[in-house]
Amino acid sequence: MFRLDGKVAIVTGGARGIGAETANVFREAGATVIAWDVGASAEPNVDVTRPADVRSAVAAAIAAHGRIDILVNNAGILRDAQLVKVRDGALAGEMSEAELDAVLDVNLKGVFHCTQAVAPHMIARGSGRILNASSVVGIYGNFGQTNYVATKAAVIGMTKVWARELGPKGITVNAVAPGFIGTEMVRQMPEKILAGMVEHTPVRRLGEPRDVALAYLYLASDEAAFVNGVVLSVDGGLVLGT
């Protein structure tokens, strides 16, 4: 079960963290995986904020493999800051417009660009799986993450719209909402912060990138053919407080 033999998958943000693990799990399941990312080490180097780059990369994937069966919109960034920070009655800081725009461009518009470029090819084949990275904070909110939460909540909304629009074309669209996942970046946080994450998670551990990758694998598989428009939380039962 949960095999992807003969399938071609694109995973954005596929060079590290959850994206890299998802690419590995998909390959283990028999898929051909094209991992998009940015930076000198990425191959191919695809900036999801640039529609022309995305469409060129989609065309290259079709030329090389003849099809795209799965799109995992995993690429994302953080630029955390409080909306406003007031100290002694005076404004001491605020989230900048640049911090807002950077996160919107990658986490929200990047998902839009990639899906819009891939969907016509899936429609032509009459089948496909589109999987979007949301977050538990897109459901509950989180302190200091106005920009990030806005994008992850919006991804849930887009997922539900596209499930309606693309479902009749044979394409399912679902989202995964990870909780606290022990990526390399997270594990570099102070021990006190990590302990707080674990304390908020009923199963009393951080998630692993593979936990999320296996959720993507299920949703990408034939066994999930009747699952459409859902948000699958992979969070150990996490409920965020205020």
Is 165 part of a structural domain of the chain?
yes
Q: What is the CATH number of the domain that holds 77?
A: 3.40.50.720
Is 67 part of a structural domain of the chain?
yes
Residue 114 to residue 54: CA distance in whole angstroms: 6
Q: What residues does 231 pair with on adjacent strands?
A: 175
Domain that holds residue 56: 8-234
Residue 234 to residue 214: CA distance in whole angstroms: 10
Is 19 part of a structural domain of the chain?
yes
Is 31 part of a structural domain of the chain?
yes
Is pLDDT of 45 > 90?
yes
Letter string b/e over residues 110-130, b meaning 16 or more CB atoms within 10 A of that residue's CB: bbbbbbebbbebbeeeebbbb
Angle at 45 between CA 121 and CA 30, to 5 degrees: 55
Answer with the residue of higher pLDDT: 5 or 187. Answer: 5
Residue 111 to residue 9: CA distance in whole angstroms: 15
> What angle separates helix 146-166 from helix 110-125, to the nearest 10 degrees?
10
Answer yes or no: 148 catalytic: yes
Is 242 part of a structural domain of the chain?
no
Identified catalytic residue from 140, 148, 216, 218: 148
Is 57 part of a structural domain of the chain?
yes
Under the banding of pLDDT at 50, 70 and 90, the label for residue 42 is: low
Is 239 part of a structural domain of the chain?
no
**How confident is the model at residue 242, as a pLDDT?**
45
Is pLDDT of 123 > 70?
yes
What's the structural domain count of the chain?
1
Is pLDDT of 15 > 80?
yes
Q: Beta-carbon neighbour count of residue 107 at 10 Å? A: 28
Among the listed ranges 7-11, 82-86, 135-139, 183-187, which one has the minimum average pLDDT value? 183-187
Average confidence (pLDDT) over 211-215: 98
Please name the residue ranges forming H helices in the chain.
17-28, 51-65, 97-103, 110-125, 137-140, 146-166, 184-187, 191-199, 209-220
Q: Which of 153, 213, 209, 238 is nearest to 9 (CA)?
A: 213
Q: Widest CA span of the chain, in angstroms?
A: 62
Average of per-residue pLDDT values in the chain: 95
**How confident is the model at residue 40, as a pLDDT?**
58
Is 3 part of a structural domain of the chain?
no
AA letter at 231: V
Average confidence (pLDDT) over 174-198: 89
